[in-house]
Chains A and B, each alone.
Chain A
Amino acid sequence: MNAFTIALDSIWAHRLRSALTALGIVIGVFAVVTLTSLGSGVKSYVTGQFSSFGATLITISPSLPSAHDKIAHHPFGGGPKQNFGNIPSTLTLGDATAINALHSPAIAHVAPVVLLPITVSTSSVGSSGISATGTTDQYFSAEQLTFLHGTFDDHGVVLGASAAHTLFPRVKNPIGQTLYLGRSALTVTGVLSSASGLLSKAANASVFVPITTGLQIAHLHTISEIIVQASGNSQVNTADNALTTVLSRRHPSGDFSVTKDTQILTTINNTLATITTFLSGLAAISLLVGGIGIMNIMLVTVTERFREIGIRKALGARDSDILLQFLTESVLLSLLGGTIGIVLSAIASGVIGQLAGFSAGLTITAVALAVGFSLFVGMVFGVIPALRAARLMPAEALRTE
């Protein structure tokens, strides 16, 4: 018959009321834990997408001349330096060749890329809405794209998985078919496997031609970007330094910018962390409301049990015994709610993770946070009712019948 068993007994004696009281904490803990778990699930999904081939890609794109000086003092706080179509490109195939000529061990692949402003069609006059990209075979290695049929050679055209389906819906293997890029007829020499990665999906809806062919067909002299793959995660900065040195020599005005996947990853992770924290904070408010619910019910319980408190005090219970009894009850109620909340959250995270296609398991941090928080809530909101019970004069308590 210690405080613990008395509290358990009292919770059990008023099962419905205890359940309803704990419900506030259940919802609060459920919300906090689920959001935290989903947040970390999304985060590890995104990180996984990047690091399935390591966050090793570096993208060189055109930029305004002397970007470092001018953009830094831009009145709008320095916008993105990437080319959104309004910055004329000065990057050339020569730049890609120069980077290649470094033979740096830190660089695994260098792929010049040009987006071709021409129509793609199976007839000489139509248009399919599919985009054409000029590049080299290194592009497929860097982007981790694999071939379903054929290869990429110096004359033909390679189709992305969904592009192949759109252009040749009834052909099982379109190799050897003719495809018109603008007015030029090219032979299909390869088809890519469907890419599922977050970052390589764009390749599905595109067709690829050798970059020299592409530049000729579209009458272009400059390219859209250069994709460089570092030879490992630890080599990204070395590769960045090496290629920046070369490009700075070739482009003294600084009309290019370098973006590393690691930077993007960091930005995404920071954003996700902010959103998760914000949502968890909102959810924590429901825990607060749950705590007030516990205080409310405990105050009612104390009033209802004046007589019991009076008897216990007459039989020699100290103020501290009564305080402990009621505090234990509110903490147990709160912990009970917390436990149910965690269980529900585990189920919900599992289901949502299945539906959304990423794992959103409970994190130890989230569970520890929830248990700690419900303990805290039980204590803080249990103290006032428990003190009220403890300070009751026995005569006063016994008078209420």
Chain B
Amino acid sequence: MNGDVGIPLIQTHQLQRNYGRGDATVAGLAGIDLAIHRGEMVALMGPSGSGKSTLMQILGLLDRPTSGNYRLSGSDISTLSGSQQAELRGRRIGFVFQGIHLLPRLSAIQNVELPMVYARFSASERKALARQSLARVGLSHLANRRPTQLSGGQAQRIAIARAVAPGPDLLLADEPTGALDRASGRAVLALFQHLNADLGLTIVLVTHDSFVGRHAQRIVELEDGRIVADHLVEDRIPPEQLMEVDV
């Protein structure tokens, strides 16, 4: 996947997603043309109902477009089978959600291992990558905690560890700081910036908060399912020192 630099990691053409049928059809996305290259950190911004989450779900293969074309690393997604898409989700794409979404009956490290279980990594490889990933988010000491024993900020960082453990090309985050207090939110955003800078991980961040958006290099603004602005961030908030101790 480290192919030609000229081919964008993400490229969409006239992407549409309609909800409902017949007269009641509502356009979630009304023709999106977007290209995101490797190593970019992009914020998708817009008011609620603008289609930014829908776009992220299609980019993450969690949803299918009604029409239009989406190429991930140059390959047309519509030609892939369900299990091929599942494999891409497991190995190439990492997700971080607003609701955190750790499985409550698994320990932190078991949660981190889960995508690698589905991607059929060997047990030893899984364990090693999970530990490495927990260390990267600075939470090795919480490996055996249950999600209910973690603070919101800790849980979200475990979720980030889970998303990046298999070594994906793309990290998709939907309002990742929405459920967190300001300090935890900033720690999470700093972590994103470091992952982007240190690993060259492509990050797409969905947010309605311009402060969060200013952590990205580029902002794509949506309204009513269309892109209304696409520009680089001039007053970017620089990566903070990573916090080793929890808030």
Contacts and interface: CB of A to CB of B under 8 A. Distances in A.
Contacts of A310: 62
A395 B83 contact: no
A1 B62 contact: no
- Could you tell me the dominant secondary structure of chain B's interface residues? helix
Contacts of A314: 60, 62, 89, 95, 101
B105 A315 contact: no
Contact of A393 (B64, B99, B110, B118): B64
A246 interface: no
- Could you tell me the dominant secondary structure of chain A's interface residues? helix
B62 A313 contact: yes
Nearest to A10: B105
Contact of A315 (B57, B64, B83, B90): B90
B91 interface: yes
B215 interface: no
B26 to A, nearest CB: 14
A245 B225 CA distance: 103
B218 interface: no
Contacts of A398: 57, 62, 97, 101
A251 interface: no
Interface string B92-107: 0001010101010110
Interface string A1-30: 100000001100100000000000000000
B82 interface: yes
Interface string B49-65: 00000000100101110
Interface string A108-150: 0000000000000000000000000000000000000000000
B62 A395 contact: yes
Interface stretch (A259-267, A317-325, A339-347): A317-325
Contacts of B119: 316
Contact of B118 (A308, A316, A401): A316
A311 B83 contact: no
Contact of A394 (B62, B91, B113): B62
A308 to B, nearest CB: 6
A312 interface: yes
B110 A1 contact: yes
Given A308-B103, A395-B57, A315 B62 contact: no
A1 B114 contact: yes
A68 interface: no
B103 A311 contact: yes
A312 B118 contact: yes
B103 A319 contact: no
B213 interface: no
10 contacts: A13-B105, A311-B101, A312-B118, A315-B114, A315-B162, A316-B87, A318-B82, A318-B87, A318-B118, A394-B89
Given A314-B60, A315-B90, 19 more contacts: A1-B106, A1-B110, A1-B113, A311-B103, A312-B114, A313-B86, A314-B101, A316-B86, A316-B90, A316-B119, A318-B82, A319-B82, A320-B83, A394-B89, A395-B57, A395-B63, A398-B57, A398-B62, A398-B97
